């Protein structure tokens, strides 16, 4: 059984924190993204098909800076 993206990210982040790595912020971000992706995948798999308008509205939630006209990083 392949290791999930979330589990792999969790391991990398745990090691980064444990060893005081300078990239622990990056690994925390990767772990958050993996958790979100896993959750969204599960929700999408259990939901009925969405209309294009519904997909556009939901995907816009991931791009708040683009809607506001600024950079979010």
pLDDT of amino acid 73? 47
What is the Cα–Cα distance from 66 to 56, expressed in whole angstroms? 13
pLDDT tens-digit profile, the chain (73 residues): 567 899 999 999 999 999 999 989 999 999 999 999 999 999 999 999 999 999 999 988 888 765 565 554 4
23, 33, 37, 40, 70 from 62: Cα distances, Å: 24, 11, 12, 12, 14
Q: How many C-beta atoms lie closer than 10 Å to residue 11's C-beta?
A: 13
Inside any domain, residue 20: yes
Give the total number of structural domains in the chain.
1
Identify the pLDDT of residue 3. 76
* Residue numbers of the domain that contains 18: 5-68
In a domain, 73, yes or no: no
Looking at residue 67, its pLDDT comes to: 55
């Amino acid at each position: 059984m392949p290791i999930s993206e979330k589990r792999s990210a969790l391991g990398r982040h745990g090691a980064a924190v444990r060893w005081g790595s300078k990239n622990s912020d990056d690994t925390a971000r990767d772990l958050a993204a993996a958790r979100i992706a896993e959750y969204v995948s599960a929700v999408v798999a259990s939901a009925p098909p969405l209309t294009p308008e519904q997909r556009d509205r939901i995907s816009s939630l991931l791009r708040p800076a683009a809607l506001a006209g600024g950079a979010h990083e």
